[in-house]
A and B are shown apart, each in its own frame.
Chain A
Amino acid sequence: MRVALSARLSAWFDQHRRSACRSYMEMRRRPLATLMTLLVIGITLALPASLLSLLKISQTMTGGHQQTASISLFLKSGIVNEKALRVATDLEQRPQVDHVELLTSADAMEEFRGHSGFGDALDALDENPLPNVLLIHLLPDSSSIEIRKLATELKEESVTDSIGYDQGWIERLQAITQAIRRAVQALGFGLGLAVMLIIGNTIRLEIMNRREEIEVTRLVGGSDNFIRRPFLYIGLIYGLFGALIAWLLVSILLMLVSGPLGRLAELYDTTISLTAFSLHALLLLIPIGISFGLAGAWLAVSRHLSSINPE
């Protein structure tokens, strides 16, 4: 049979469209069973996905600090702005220092007034009790030993009143986050396998239900690929819709925590956009859902299809 390539191609697309449609209709025929399966898949995928989202949010909040580890150098009260600037320029020559920012006592006052709500009380003061501060931003690759060494040196400087650096807790938090992240990834892998088995089992039942159709298709010369195709589409559809349900669940969760998280983010001087995390979860879930769906379908099909032969 010689047919133009375009016709062959359109026939090929038609075969796929037909398989996909049949699979979809087949699922629609048993809406309750299909919905239950989809919910199970959705919840299973939502669990690791929401944990990952929360982790990512916490990393974003603490991540800023990791990039620019800094030391606050509180200057003695007699040091005027010009002198402070000169000290800053000197400090910038040091190897670990990226740049130095001067936070004058006036700036600090403004900021304190804004945040603390002690505005009226501060007005009552004759003079500004806050010192000039140098914010020393370090190079991102500075090790904690280097930072500690630098801090000790700075403490000895004549202009220094005191030194503030608080790196430890961020490191600890990051270590904990890292550990949790690993655990969540492992959990996610396990639950992904579970999804694969759920879909595989659903498709095994589907194959049994459509035994007669498979036999007749073999009788009229249907290839294994042809017979396999609708079942792979079922896996794909389950994976895709399961992922969408999971995404919906994650989004609901993010909405629920958005209030407290927003306040938390304020304390860290950052804002977080939950839409971004929701979108990130979607982009993560859809390919994962589809691949586990297809894998589950493939598993079921390769195990059970060959056992069905026409009598």
Chain B
Amino acid sequence: MIHFENVSKRFPGGHYGVSDISLNIENGALAFITGHSGAGKSTLLRLIALLERPTRGQLLIDGRNIGRLPEKEIPAHRRNIGLIFQDHRLLNDRSVFDNVALPLHVQGFPVREVGKRVRASLDKVGLLKKEKVLPITLSGGEQQRVGIARAIVSRPPILLADEPTGNLDPELSREIMELFLAFNQIGITTLIASHDLDLINKLGRPVINLHRGELT
């Protein structure tokens, strides 16, 4: 599904985000990416979402080398990926419902379908009753769950989460991780960057460890 072949990302100025990475993530897998801050966890995820382009090597998704994907095709590519961030990246001037509906709106889903999917998605993260409120009024854990609902609403085959539990206490972190496990159960390929080693070790899933941009 996701195949890195000697991929490097060198930033302007000579600093490497990741360097000579080769790895393969099977369809439907769930893997964690660990490492210190600046080890390249985010860069790895950003490469898959084409928020960065690799400067060397091949990055294949479903057999396509996305490193060479024309600018115009990036939106279509991102629609296949649900992105989750530590700081949620929700829009605070619109309701929870509208936040979650955004991926469907950009894809031109029919109105009725949007309502159904948004509610199904909010239901999965346990926030069905909060659809009308503004995200700012929610707790950190709830905001993160809105972010997750937005990421899964269009049912993408790939889910990428960058430190999704970074700001949460252990109890909430565990809840969030369980959500990811549940989504993975229905076949979504999931990659989670995290440095919460205690939690990761308990879950017993494959771990990709990065150190200074390289696999260890």
Contact = CB atoms under 8 A, between A and B. Distances in A.
B106 A226 contact: yes
Given A10-B111, A220-B79, A221-B107, 10 more contacts: A3-B113, A8-B110, A10-B110, A12-B108, A213-B91, A213-B93, A215-B89, A216-B89, A220-B106, A221-B76
A105 interface: no
Contacts of B89: 212, 215-216, 219
B149 to A, nearest CB: 12
Nearest to A7: B110
B76 A14 contact: no
A187 interface: no
Interface in A6-63: 7-8, 10-12, 14-15, 18
B150 interface: yes
Nearest to B90: A216
Max chain A Cβ within 10 angstroms of own Cβ: one of B76, B81, B109: B109
A177 B201 CA distance: 88
Interface residues of B, number: 24
Interface in A75-114: none
A10 B109 CA distance: 9
Contacts of A3: 110, 113
Q: Which 9 pairs, one residue from A and one from B, show the smallest C-beta to C-beta distance?
A: A221-B79, A221-B78, A222-B106, A220-B103, A223-B75, A7-B110, A11-B110, A221-B75, A11-B108
B106 A223 contact: yes
A15 B83 CA distance: 23
B179 interface: no
Contacts of A12: 108
A190 interface: no
Contacts of B91: 212-213, 216
Contacts of B93: 213
Chain A residues touching B, range? 20 to 34
Nearest to A10: B110
Interface string A262-277: 0000000000000000
Contacts of A18: 105
Interface string A187-225: 000000000000000000000000011011111111110
A17 to B, nearest CB: 10
A103 B178 CA distance: 104
A217 B110 contact: no
B41 to A, nearest CB: 16
A8 B78 CA distance: 21
B83 A217 contact: no
A11 B102 contact: no
B16 to A, nearest CB: 19
A222 B83 CA distance: 13
A217 B111 contact: no
B106 A221 contact: yes
A220 B108 contact: no
A217 B102 contact: yes
Contacts of B76: 221
B51 interface: yes
Nearest to A311: B51
A224 B72 CA distance: 8
